[in-house]
């Protein structure tokens, strides 16, 4: 693949590019974030970094025509999140020990289950009647799958949670609240996976 120049003459070969007429992620923003992540990952283990698994999960880039292909960047961010989560787990285990780590994961899982034990249509706060939120039926169906995962060991992957999409609905569930719960689910799943 030939070298391609991004904004400010930055050489950009990290990811494939979208076609010039197609939207992609802003190359400079992606490269700047990856450099920041590299510095954070190689920093002294005791140093508190701005980049962590949660900030990687929440990262968003602006869109530009001819930018980096989103699918490849998203896949790389998922791998990066996994690497940071594993390192964070190692640090937490070294500081608090196995018992405290697993107790925290169990406590978080119980908080999730308590929320999901509510009646369908009442699991999360609703937005106003003229505002779009997540479609309650979609969220409730996925919530039932989460309950099956936590209580009955039904198969579910981290990617299932990362990539779930809910349709919108006037007066639907408040998106930020649902997203926070999904983040907590991913944290627990990462903790369980890293322990295996």
**Of the listed ranges 12-21, 41-50, 91-100, the one predicted with least confidence:** 41-50
Q: Are strands 63-65 and 23-25 parallel, antiparallel or unpaired?
A: antiparallel
pTM as predicted: 0.64
The mean pLDDT of the chain is: 85
Predicted pLDDT of residue 102: 78
Q: In 3-state terms, what secondary structure has residue 128? A: coil
| Residue 108: CB atoms within 10 Å | 15
Higher-confidence residue of 86 and 2: namely 86
Domain ranges of the chain: 7-94, 97-195
Q: For residues 149-156, give the mean pLDDT.
A: 93
Predicted pLDDT of residue 169: 96
Q: What angle do CA 18, 159, 41 make, to 5 degrees?
A: 75
Q: For residues 138-153, give the mean pLDDT.
A: 96
Predicted pLDDT of residue 9: 37
Distance CA 99, CA 119 (A): 33
Predicted pLDDT of residue 190: 84
Predicted pLDDT of residue 2: 33
By the 8 A CB rule, do 173 and 136 touch? yes
Distance CA 138, CA 129 (A): 18
Q: For residues 176-194, give the mean pLDDT.
A: 87
Predicted pLDDT of residue 48: 59
Instruction: Identify any residues that bridge with 24 across adjacent strands, giving them in sequence order.
Output: 64
- pLDDT per position as a tens digit, 80-99: 888 888 888 777 777 777 77
Q: For residues 44-52, give the mean pLDDT.
A: 69
Predicted pLDDT of residue 1: 33
């Amino acid at each position: 693949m030939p070298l391609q120049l991004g904004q400010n003459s930055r050489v950009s070969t990290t990811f494939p590019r979208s076609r010039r007429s197609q939207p992609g992620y802003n190359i400079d923003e992606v490269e700047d974030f990856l450099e920041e992540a590299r510095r954070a990952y190689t920093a002294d283990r005791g140093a508190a970094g701005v980049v962590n698994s949660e900030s990687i999960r929440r990262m968003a880039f602006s869109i530009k025509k001819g930018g980096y292909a989103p699918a490849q960047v998203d896949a790389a961010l998922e791998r990066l999140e996994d690497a940071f989560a594993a390192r964070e787990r190692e640090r937490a285990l070294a500081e608090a020990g196995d018992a405290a780590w697993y107790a925290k994961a169990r406590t978080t899982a119980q908080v999730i289950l308590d929320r999901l034990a509510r009646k369908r249509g009442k699991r999360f706060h609703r937005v106003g009647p003229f505002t779009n939120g997540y479609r309650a039926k979609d969220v409730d169906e996925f919530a039932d799958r989460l309950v099956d995962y936590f209580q009955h060991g039904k198969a579910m992957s981290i990617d299932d949670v990362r990539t779930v999409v809910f349709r919108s609905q006037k007066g639907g569930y408040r998106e930020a609240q649902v997203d926070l719960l999904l983040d907590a689910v991913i944290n627990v799943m990462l903790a369980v996976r890293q322990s295996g």
